[in-house]
Amino acid sequence: MAGKVVILVEQVYEDLEFWYPYYRMKEAGYEVVAVGPVAGKIYPSKHGLEAQADTDPSGIDASTIDALIIPGGFAPDHMRRVPQMVDLVRNAYQAGKVVAAICHGGWMLASAGIARGKKLTCFFAIKDDLVNAGAEYQDKEVVQDGNLITSRMPSDLPAFCRTILAALQK
């Protein structure tokens, strides 16, 4: 095993933004752990696919993971209502782990208080949210600023995953 990658899950997640990184990280040899507010709960996606949380945030010590991925859809709006989910993102960032958010996943970066002063991208509909949280918005398929990696939408997934994997190799 190459290490451990956490991918967050909640209701109304964007199918591709969860499953593409999930399987891409597995393909690269990482143990992938789905973390949701409730361990064992099944969360439906925007289009009806289901993903089960392997554990809840209390089951993860941020110092023991290599990366944390936040998919988009409207799931991040539900995730950020759970303080332990937000704390996990903040703790992973502060531990120097790769923290990657795509699409509406940027909402979690804002809620975790880690967007200020960072170059980030996101789905255009939440650009104002990230700018108001202190981020410098860039309209690119992938933006890396330190240990933060962000992308805009499903069509950016190849660049998003390539950048995550490259950051994990450093």
Taking alpha carbons only, the member of 52, 18, 21 closest to residue 37 is 52
Choice among 47, 78, 103, 161 that is catalytic: 103
Assess whether 103 carries a catalytic annotation.
yes
Identify the structural domains of the chain with CATH numbers, from first to last.
Answer: 3-169 (3.40.50.880)
> Which uninterrupted H or E stretch holds 35?
strand 30-35
Euclidean distance between CA atoms 36 and 51, whole angstroms:
10
Please indicate whether residue 104 is annotated as part of the active site.
yes
pTM of the entire predicted model = 0.98
Could you report the per-residue pLDDT of 95-144, keeping only the tens digit for each? Answer: 999 999 999 999 999 999 999 999 999 999 999 999 999 999 999 999 99
Candidate list 47, 78, 104, 161, residue with the active-site label: 104
What is the pLDDT confidence band of residue 1, given thresholds at 50, 70 and 90?
low
